[in-house]
Structure 1
């Protein structure tokens, strides 16, 4: 029976009802849906067990996290016993342990040919060991054949890294599901020596890491023992263990100006709930020991509360949930302008400066946002090609006949006069999935908010586009990739100063020192290099403590490896 406190609407149906097909508002008594009884029930039991859905069966579907929802959809598809099962990016949004569980399940299905499987994968997704054939859709054309032949050909052409440089390539190939070395005691000891959790004297709520010599900024988010429960199920809370073996109940976490947080944890560990509390979307944000921008949600004697609109004006947010509900009929320009609106469909508060900011972002990402874009001599629009002197087009060679300063002026004026009429007519819903994610990413960062929340915001993007967004987040228009339209591996891409920076025509400088970032991801490649602090939530119901720390180098490049994040 569903607990009433966990319902969002009276019409919410449980995950079990969803899997059985009982989703009608007023179902006829005695009708169990399309999948009830016999082999279907056995298949449901198997799918629920293998996809770790058993503890979620009584929860309303609306309360599931993004990763849990994806697992539920996969289970629903399997229970339908199709002849051919098409899974579009099935690993997106799933944590590594769940991927390690899901892959063997799909492998057994593939081996039985009931149903036959076709998977679409992103470049950062691990390729299951049981895959036999590949179709590679790349910038230079389509390749298809056996897996070994295609991978060998791509490596020879440096389109993918060698296995030793790309450990995630066979992430789920081992019997245990993950081909990595677990964090040993020595590694954990070094981690503790490098970034020791400690509280700040006089600030009991600050249970986070302070780097050596780091000046603490103004608190933007203060969680002083937050605990969220749905009935008997605790979603956020549990003990936080510090070096002195002191245990504090609930979540103690402070996000300050200048912080760059990575928020990690398995599906269902409470990441989405924490973000909904911060954004004041969660009803319990009124009753929790929580302060946002120095204010509680409810007014106190002599102190004003803070409205949801005041909160959201100071937060830039991109997530799969926003993507799912964002109006598809808005134009691309309206999507970016919506950053200054109170709701998806309300009128944004614009001025001349904000209009110029929108134009700057549209120009910088026009080759990613406009599917009809095609570079020509008259209207080059890929800034990598424009700003790389070694690979100029015919227009660039014409400019080289002038002196270097005049050539730069020509390039800048050509770039700044680019026709952006396409953004006034092209609808958000008509964009490819990757381009939609780019538009929502820009919507989150364009107004330079106090707090930027990127909740799997870079998932679903092509790898080159994803890296371009991360470069833009860190450096704005001041840096660009070398090599023009080079879609090769990340290690082969250089970074150089843009001409806009050289001539002082930059509008967006990247994430500012006064801004804070919270990034949620299950994939290492989607974690921006600017992330310095990390908080790992335990699996719900495990009884394990949270873990947090600070790193001085991009995740995976220094002492802290991606596998250490997920080590229990």
Structure 2
């Protein structure tokens, strides 16, 4: 019998004083493709990084490659986020830079990035084309990296991994930010790849997984427990925590119509991102915003948030005022609680949990002002509600991504805004955390609070949505009263 491709014996890992993985044993034989699950913070990402030699170099983990295989004898870890750099090799980007036409030339194009990757890894550039086509990424080859949406960045990250064809491919939440069709296409690509000598370990919260997965493991209390079938936690029970008192009533609406856009067009050079968009949001409405990767959702939200400079060239009304009538970007943000993948990327990871949540009072990336006793009490109440009490003084960088996202979600609601803009808010959350957060949103939105909610997953939505806007290639193709999937199937 051949050696297992991965052999882990008595592996231990600590974060600070906390033991995350304890005496863990795991053997991965040739031909096995694993799905790895576990609650957020259970150690899944740390384990994959350790196997790849990123997190910790140890004799307790042995990886054996087959030198006769057609796949490359390497172990490739694909992180949840794609970390790109500018032309000078650094990654010091800021949140609004993507929408600034004078700044986008600071990064490489997709084509240049792929050419550089091919040279680094001795790859044939032509062989990336089928993967680009399969993931619907080929039309973006001339785009600047900073112009890409979070879903498009994920696709570029996956293109590189599939193109490299490593013997051991470690995928950490690869579906994050991908639309439904792209997820299906990715699964097909992974199935094909495993017939060519590649083995995969997949961390995912999704129920739709590639057919090649034939082993299932869950990290529980620091150890790996194998399941012999794919099991999902169908009944998730969350603790009945009362919503903090200060969030029970939304502030009075500043206008009967909070958002109004009339024939809005956004262009980057010759590329038109939004085309003749008309959208009106009245106070108290709860909107679901959807569309494929690159459809224009993030750009549309940047107009709502006041972040996009081209707002001044369009007829846009925010909170009762025409854009450009004298209000500042901070006047606009006072009304809004925002979470987005981009905000998470560019946040100050050297801030503590407490500071990060408190910064939501000022819409700042980090806390630079002292706050009074009343607001401090509100921060503490939200920390307790989200189950973050033991992490209160931890740096954001010290937390797993799921808990980081909970911190930023708490930051989103801390000032009790009249409009919540939640762009893929449940990315990185496990099923329990997702249910807890959407339960909070349902509780907050029983008042006259207004909501814009973006999600590719129909099974990760709050219950109180009232309207739906669907974008395709920058155009509105659907704008009406929201109907749940089961309601549509019964018609």
TM-score of the pair, normalised by structure 2: 0.71
Q: CA deviation at 1:99?
A: 0.9
Q: CA deviation at 1:521?
A: 0.5
Residue of structure 1 in register with 2:464 after alignment: 530
Residue of structure 2 in register with 1:319 after alignment: 340
Residue of structure 1 in register with 2:477 after alignment: 546
Q: CA deviation at 1:351?
A: 2.9
Q: CA deviation at 1:218?
A: 1.1
Kindly indicate whether residue 408 of structure 2 is the aligned counterpart of residue 458 of structure 1: no
**SS of 1:234 mapped into structure 2:** strand
Residue of structure 2 in register with 1:252 after alignment: 278
For the structure 1 residues 354 and 512, does the alpha-carbon distance in structure 2 shift closer, same or farther, using more than 3 Å as the test? Answer: farther
Equivalent residues in 2 for 1:273-422 (5 A)?
273-299=299-325, 305-348=326-369, 350-366=371-387, 369=388, 373=390, 422=391
Question: Are the equivalent residues in 2 in contact too, given 1:51–1:98 (CA < 8 A)?
Answer: yes
Residue of structure 2 in register with 1:520 after alignment: 454
Q: Deviations over 1:152-190 (max 9, x none)?
A: xx47xxx347xxxxxxxxxxxxxxxxxxxxxxxxxxxxx
> C-alpha separation between the residues in 2 aligned to 1:140 and 1:217?
52
Residue of structure 2 in register with 1:169 after alignment: none
Q: CA deviation at 1:352?
A: 2.9
> C-alpha separation between the residues in 2 aligned to 1:255 and 1:349?
35
Structure 2: unaligned runs, 5 residues or longer: 1-98, 236-252
For the structure 1 residues 342 and 90, does the alpha-carbon distance in structure 2 shift closer, same or farther, using more than 3 Å as the test? Answer: closer
Residue of structure 2 in register with 1:481 after alignment: none
Equivalent residues in 2 for 1:192-207 (5 A)?
none
Whichever of the two has the greater Rg, that structure is: 1
Equivalent residues in 2 for 1:88-103 (5 A)?
88-103=172-187
Q: CA deviation at 1:331?
A: 0.8
Which has the larger share of helix? 1
Residue of structure 2 in register with 1:116 after alignment: 199
> C-alpha separation between the residues in 2 aligned to 1:271 and 1:160?
31
For the structure 1 residues 547 and 528, does the alpha-carbon distance in structure 2 shift closer, same or farther, using more than 3 Å as the test? Answer: same
Q: Deviations over 1:412-454 (max 9, x none)?
A: xxxxxxxxxx51x211111111111111111111211121111
Residue of structure 1 in register with 2:229 after alignment: 150
**SS of 2:132 mapped into structure 1:** helix
Q: Deviations over 1:254-311 (max 9, x none)?
A: 1121010000010000000001111121221121111111223323xxxxx2101111
Q: CA deviation at 1:539?
A: 4.0
Give 4+ residue runs of structure 1 displaced > 4 Å after superposition.
4-7, 138-141
Q: CA deviation at 1:57?
A: 0.6
TM-score of the pair, normalised by structure 1: 0.62
Q: Deviations over 1:37-83 (max 9, x none)?
A: xx522321122122211110111110111111100111122333433
Residue of structure 2 in register with 1:175 after alignment: none
Kindly indicate whether residue 321 of structure 2 is the aligned counterpart of residue 235 of structure 1: no
Kindly indicate whether residue 55 of structure 2 is the aligned counterpart of residue 34 of structure 1: no
Kindly indicate whether residue 225 of structure 2 is the aligned counterpart of residue 225 of structure 1: no
Kindly indicate whether residue 124 of structure 2 is the aligned counterpart of residue 86 of structure 1: no
Residue of structure 2 in register with 1:126 after alignment: 208
Structure 1: unaligned runs, 5 residues or longer: 23-31, 162-214, 238-249, 300-304, 374-421, 476-509
Question: Are the equivalent residues in 1 in contact too, given 2:150–2:177 (CA < 8 A)?
Answer: yes
Q: Deviations over 1:361-409 (max 9, x none)?
A: 111222xx35xx5xxxxxxxxxxxxxxxxxxxxxxxxxxxxxxxxxxxx
Kindly indicate whether residue 190 of structure 2 is the aligned counterpart of residue 106 of structure 1: yes
Q: Deviations over 1:485-518 (max 9, x none)?
A: xxxxxxxxxxxxxxxxxxxxxxxxx236332110
> C-alpha separation between the residues in 2 aligned to 1:338 and 1:101?
39
> C-alpha separation between the residues in 2 aligned to 1:251 and 1:274?
9
For the structure 1 residues 512 and 340, does the alpha-carbon distance in structure 2 shift closer, same or farther, using more than 3 Å as the test? Answer: farther
For the structure 1 residues 363 and 336, does the alpha-carbon distance in structure 2 shift closer, same or farther, using more than 3 Å as the test? Answer: same
Q: CA deviation at 1:556?
A: 3.2
Question: Are the equivalent residues in 2 in contact too, given 1:216–1:256 (CA < 8 A)?
Answer: no
> C-alpha separation between the residues in 2 aligned to 1:266 and 1:530?
23
Q: Deviations over 1:100-136 (max 9, x none)?
A: 11111111001212x32221111x3412222121112
